[in-house]
A = this chain, B = another copy of it.
Amino acid sequence: MADFAAATELKSIGDGRYGAVLDPQWAVADKLHGGYLLSLAGRAAVTELGEGFAHPLVASAHYLAAPEPGPAELTVEELRRGRRTAHTRVTVSTDGGPCVEALITCGPIDDAEPFFHGFPAPEMPPEDDCPRLPVEAPWFRVPLMGVVSERLDPDTTGWTAGRPDGRGELHGWLRFDDGPDPLDPIALLTVVDALPPAAFDLGVRGWIPTIALSCHIRGLPAPGPVIVANRTRYVAGGRLDEECHVWDSTGRLVATSSQLAGARHP
């Protein structure tokens, strides 16, 4: 299922419970993608809250287990509803048990010009000059790349040819093959976890499982692709950080995230 709307469709089964079908297309190797699972959780939260709380503002997900594709159930508990923000807790479960626990705070996001913008997007070559990442990636298959177009700045892809440059930074253009365009806040929850790990640029290899991911949605993207930049700044004791920033085609910062992940490193 290429279509993001279909892959994140929810069926209300009452009492804050929703059914979903976890789609193996939205996966890295045979593991469902953590951002995709967070998009599902975000959609459940805003659906349950209803009018006035159309968008996730902050989503903090802790990853308990890697679920299998197939049927899942999401449960939403409303923790507190204020005038401009409402807090929820969302659990994603499959037959194997709970796999994601997330706190998701929602509210309206408007299109206001920023009062302060101190973090502009990196300079990028044109989208067409950046090669698209393939499904058959260096170390494993990435089905996600069949539905998400990620075109990295060639200046940040030395690691794909065995020459990581040691900065710990990747950036590129991103859009979904089958929408939504513009990307909406629910889709941005996938976007903030969609690039390859920036630690590949440091010579770290192999599986880098997310322990927890926290995302802020800051604006509603304009139409067209977004620019996404990932960077890793500290690798120690078998764990690393990854920070992600997303700018829309007009240069506004629309989402940020930070995650802690496990890693095998020298």
Contact = CB atoms under 8 A, between A and B. Distances in A.
Interface string A107-149: 0011011111111000000000000000000000000000000
A233 interface: yes
22 contacts: A60-B60, A62-B103, A64-B79, A65-B80, A87-B101, A103-B212, A116-B168, A116-B232, A116-B235, A116-B236, A118-B231, A119-B233, A214-B214, A216-B241, A216-B258, A218-B234, A218-B236, A218-B239, A218-B241, A219-B237, A233-B253, A258-B258
Interface residues of A, number: 57
Contacts of A156: none
Nearest to A120: B233
A146 B23 CA distance: 54
Contacts of A168: 116, 118
Interface of A: 57-58, 60, 62, 64-65, 79-80, 84-85, 87, 89, 98, 101-103, 105, 109-110, 112-119, 167-168, 199, 202, 204, 211-212, 214, 216, 218-219, 231-241, 252-253, 256, 258, 260, 262, 265-266
